[in-house]
Amino acid sequence: MAAGKTERLMNLLIMLLVQRGNVSKERIREVLYPSSHGEAFEKMFERDKEELRSLGVPIETGVIDSFFEDEIGYRISPEQFALPPITLEADELAVVALATKVWENASMAEATAEAVRKLNAAGLQTDVSALEIVQPRLAAEEGSFDVFVAATQDRQVVEFDYRGSRATEPSHRRLQPWGVVRYSGRWYAVGHDVDRDDTRIFRLSRVLGEARAVGEVDAFEVPPEVDVRDIARDLAPAPPTGKAVLLLRQGSGYALRRAADSTEPGVAGPDGSHDWDRVVLTRVPADLVGTVLGHGPDAYVEEPESLRREVASRLEKLVARLDEVGR
């Protein structure tokens, strides 16, 4: 992604997140797009908003002043953007750290500080505590993840070798990526397949070797009616079916709760307290074992027995690996 665009998107995210209320479009233009006016600004601002939304940033609209309801502003709600904190003991944290890979970009710290300085210099009141939820940290094991995300922002074609679930040999593909989404526990790139001239979806874990962004920046436009999440739901393989019964500590496991078919609050948990809820899932996420492990001591498997054994087995292997590292 071009450095200028990266900085602009980051500045827009920070500005809308740290404000205490809705920010008018004109104020956003004055601070972040001072050299753009009229149609050029409108086009750039709309694209930046949609690019942030395609990455899961919940940009909201609302009135700026209750006495002037026709004046619309923008903001990012920290409550909608943040995930609840997960508290782990030292040994539990070490186990979970081995169970997942985390992509982090610490270089954004300097860019974030610079963005806040600019906002303060412009006379805007900011709440920098909201930035605690914007640490650029994302669970993504696929090596091609960052290539597709950057190409989505830069509107560049991506070339890669891909092996489908039913293919015996890999094929070379070229994609105009419209977005990268997570569906049923897996990451997918959605876009226009250049060679097949059709809308396609590719599971990133099936990309072989190194994916490359090629050609000119801004080489294509995303159709305005496109919703990459809807396409993922329509084209991606259906989530595995089955039934799982979990105990979740109250105040945790929100992603699992949203996917639950039923919830029974205030049940006895493995620690003997009644600070637990029983959730029943009939559309099991692809990597439910990893999801349960990611919740540490706040999730417990009741059934099926095979799932509980798999969770226990993976934990035992991770603990054994920790013992080897500590020797």
Indicate the pTM of the whole model: 0.41
| CATH 2.30.30 intervals, the chain | 145-235
**Alpha-carbon gap, residue 39 to 286, rounded angstroms:** 44
**pLDDT-derived band of residue 282, with 50, 70 and 90 as boundaries?**
confident
| Of 32 and 131, more confident | 32
HSE-CB for 316 with a 13 A CA cutoff:
6
Long-range CB contacts for residues 109-115, cutoff 8 Å, separation at least 24? 111/6, 111/7, 111/10, 112/10, 112/14, 115/7, 115/10, 115/11, 115/14, 115/15
More confident position, 189 or 242: 189
Question: Does residue 48 register a pLDDT over 50?
Answer: yes
User: Which residue is it, tokens 């089955």?
Assistant: 242
**What are all long-range contacts of 70-77, with beta carbons under 8 Å and residues at least 24 apart?**
71/24, 72/22, 72/24, 72/25, 73/21, 73/22, 73/23, 73/24, 73/25, 74/16, 74/22, 74/23, 74/25, 74/28, 74/49, 75/16, 75/17, 75/19, 75/21, 75/22, 75/23, 76/13, 76/16, 76/17
Distance CA 143, CA 207 (A): 9
pLDDT of residue 195: 92
Maximum C-alpha span of the chain: 68
From 46-55, 168-177, 218-227, the region with the lowest mean pLDDT: 46-55
Residue 239: both structure tokens together: 């989530």
Looking at domain 145-235, its CATH architecture is Roll (2.30)
At CB < 8 A and 24+ separation, what contacts does 267-272 make?
Answer: 269/300, 270/300
Within 10 angstroms of residue 50's Cβ, the number of other Cβ atoms is: 15
If one compares 128 and 50, the residue with the highest pLDDT of the two is 50
Contact 299, 253 (CB under 8 A): yes
User: Can you list the alpha helix ranges (DSSP code H) found in 33-181?
Assistant: 38-54, 78-81, 90-99, 108-121, 145-154
The position carrying tokens 């309801």 is 69
CB 137 within 8 A of CB 156: no
What confidence score (pLDDT) does residue 101 get? 34
* Percent of the chain predicted with pLDDT > 70: 70
Model confidence at 248, pLDDT cuts 50, 70, 90, reads: very high
Q: Using one digit for the tens of pLDDT, what is the confidence trace for 151-160?
A: 988 899 999 9
Q: Across residues 160-164, what is the average pLDDT? A: 91
Contact status, residue 155 vs residue 217, Cβ threshold 8 Å = yes
Q: Is the pLDDT of residue 95 over 50?
A: no
What span, in angstroms and rounded, lies between the C-alpha atoms of 26 and 34? 10
Mean pLDDT of the chain: 76
Residue 267: which H helix or E strand, with range? strand 262-267
Residue 99 pLDDT exceeds 60: no
